[in-house]
Amino acid sequence: MSTTTSRAASGLGNFIDERVGAGKPVKYLARKLFPDHWSFMLGEVALYSFIILLLSGTFLTFFFVPSVGETTYNGAYTPLQGQRVSEAFASTVRMSFDVRGGLLMRQIHHWAALVFVAAIITHMFRVFFTGAFRKPRELNWVIGSLLAILALIEGFLGYSLPDDLLSGNGLRIAYAIVLAIPIVGSYVAFFLFGGQFPGEAFIPRIYTIHVLLLPAIFLALIGAHLLLVFLQKHTQYPGPGRTNKNVVGYPLFPVYTAKAGGFFFIVFGVIALMSAVLQINPVWAFNSYDPSPVSADAQPDWYMGFMDGAVRLMPGFFEFTLLGHTWSFNIVIPALIMPGILTVLLILYPWIEAKATGDKREHHLLDRPRNVPTRTGLGVMAITFYLLLLVSGGNDIFATHFDLSINDITNTLRVLVIVLPPLAFMVTKRICLGLQRKDREMVLHGRETGTIVRTETGEFFEVHQPLDPYARWRLVQHEEQAPMALPEVEDEHGVRRPGGFGARLGYRLSKFYFEDRVTPVSPAELEAAHHEHEHPAVEGHAAEPQAHAVTAGD
């Protein structure tokens, strides 16, 4: 740096520091360490998609007219020529065809929205499967869950704004869901929509919520989310030199500034490229919303697909009339109760698991998913359930593209959605336990080298290369978690202890989580294995020491 620029920089630095005291935070932040791993960038994909959404969305507001007032289309697209359409729809087509870059911005906004939700969900997978939600990060898990749910709502509102045929039918479904709420449904629906569906009030209302209210809540929650990451420092994967009491990584300045800053432009670039060559939501083909027509392949955007899929699976007999009122459980269960229960379970999960472990310590080292088979199994179970609902949400597309009967798909999914998730849980858990055993095998007997040696007595065996301490540490570092002891529910006089229920629940949960487990290799076991290795003929019986390390029920 030349002396003039460095003088100018120090002058600016001085100016700022004397006014806001920037020295201290800079000192703290610039050398703050971040561990490096690709999976830690998933949250950043979500964050950057959000920034892209803010930027492109602001551009769209310059041209979008949030009104369902009627107008006549008079633009370049002949199939719409002279059609009576809403202002919202007409302005969306106009910005696509008559504003340079307008179509690109629309497509960037829509692709970024799809990637935003996808990134949030993958980020949650990472946090879940590595146990990053454990103490002290439960609050950030809650904030993240709220962000995920808000993202679904924000996405749905944005999808509805252009007032096209596809989104209009989506809104009609949303209206029906509100109507189905017992007791207050019709009132809430009329207040939300300003009267009967579709009305003229709803599009302007959701516009304000979409561009002002929800983004503001997003910014506040994202701010809190990031603040907590800073305060609590980032988690890290286990490995040599990494402990629960340190952070190993690269400083924010310059390495992470370059990497994370650069990654923003990568995300923006990839979404720009997608928007350049992949068409999304061609509203001009749908035309303006009208309650009479409808199109085949009526679908919501993918993130609402699971709810739509659940609605499709529900048999009609869940609706009934009782006491002179209509109870539409065929709608309320899949569209409100099921997502509600999933949300509550999602938010409460850190505490559910904490109840099973009884662990009050802070955790900054991540789990390898195989080392916590029950949690990993539960996660895969939830994903399986979600995916089946998603498939159901696109059952008509699957029917036409795979030559299947839509009725067969629906009937099969009705069964699978109940049978497959528990199966996925069991299979995943077994796979995790198997992988742990493989790890043990690796630690005890080393890597297979492929070299076959013949002993003097004529026996053959394969030479195994023992692991170096660094490689071995990765496989033995985790703690074994055993189920807690059965609590004494009665005191010595046979009287039930107060709080016995909670203790027994914890015991049962703990048993469910940790009954089947594989113990990491201890130095003693390795020592013993080595002794056996001194007599190569015993190689074949090497599985023996592991047999007693694996508990019953396994």
One of 142, 150, 192, 383 touching other proteins (CB under 8 A) = 192
Stretch near other proteins under the rule CB under 8 A, chosen from 208-216, 294-302, 347-355, 486-494: 294-302
- Least separation in angstroms between CB 239 and other proteins: 9
Structure-token pair, residue 331: 């709608």
104 binds other proteins (CB under 8 A): yes
**Interface of this chain with other proteins, residues 420 to 479, rule: CB under 8 A:** 446, 453, 463-464, 466, 468-470, 472-473, 476-477
**What is the H or E stretch that residue 326 is in?**
strand 325-328
- Using CA atoms, how far residue 361 sits from 129, 136, 224, 367, in Å, is 19, 8, 23, 14
The smaller minimum CB distance to other proteins, of residues 77 and 427, is found at 77
One of 269, 422, 499, 540 touching other proteins (CB under 8 A) = 269
The smaller minimum CB distance to other proteins, of residues 235 and 509, is found at 235
Q: Count residues contacting other proteins (CB under 8 A)?
A: 188
One of 91, 92, 130, 287 touching other proteins (CB under 8 A) = 287
One of 499, 531, 540, 541 touching other proteins (CB under 8 A) = 531
Measured CA to CA, the distance from residue 395 to residue 401 in angstroms comes to 10
Q: Dihedral sign for Cα 306, 312, 313, 314, please.
A: positive
Measured CA to CA, the distance from residue 147 to residue 225 in angstroms comes to 9
417 phi and psi, to 5 degrees?
-65, -20
- Least separation in angstroms between CB 432 and other proteins: 21
One of 194, 339, 358, 500 touching other proteins (CB under 8 A) = 194
One of 2, 20, 403, 498 touching other proteins (CB under 8 A) = 403
Gyration radius of the chain over CA positions: 29
One of 1, 4, 5, 38 touching other proteins (CB under 8 A) = 38
The smaller minimum CB distance to other proteins, of residues 116 and 507, is found at 116
**Interface of this chain with other proteins, residues 218 to 257, rule: CB under 8 A:** 231-233, 240-251, 254-256
Measured CA to CA, the distance from residue 310 to residue 387 in angstroms comes to 11
One of 133, 207, 268, 507 touching other proteins (CB under 8 A) = 268
- Least separation in angstroms between CB 222 and other proteins: 18
Which residues, 6 or more positions from 282, have their beta carbon under 8 angstroms from its beta carbon? none
Answer for the pair 133, 160: CB distance below 8 angstroms, yes or no.
no
The two beta strands, 319-322 and 325-328, are antiparallel
Task: Build a one-symbol-per-residue string for 478-517: x at contacts with other proteins by CB under 8 A, - elsewhere.
Answer: ----------------------------------------
412 binds other proteins (CB under 8 A): no
- Least separation in angstroms between CB 337 and other proteins: 15
Answer for the pair 256, 37: CB distance below 8 angstroms, yes or no.
no
Stretch near other proteins under the rule CB under 8 A, chosen from 214-222, 271-279, 426-434, 494-502: 271-279
Measured CA to CA, the distance from residue 200 to residue 163 in angstroms comes to 11
**Interface of this chain with other proteins, residues 324 to 363, rule: CB under 8 A:** 324-326, 328, 330-331, 362
Contacts 24+ apart (CB under 8 A), 268-271: 268/48, 268/52, 271/49, 271/52, 271/108, 271/111, 271/112, 271/115
Stretch near other proteins under the rule CB under 8 A, chosen from 57-65, 341-349, 350-358, 533-541: 533-541
User: Helix 338-357 and helix 305-313: axis angle, to 10°?
Assistant: 110
Answer for the pair 117, 141: CB distance below 8 angstroms, yes or no.
no
The smaller minimum CB distance to other proteins, of residues 350 and 393, is found at 393
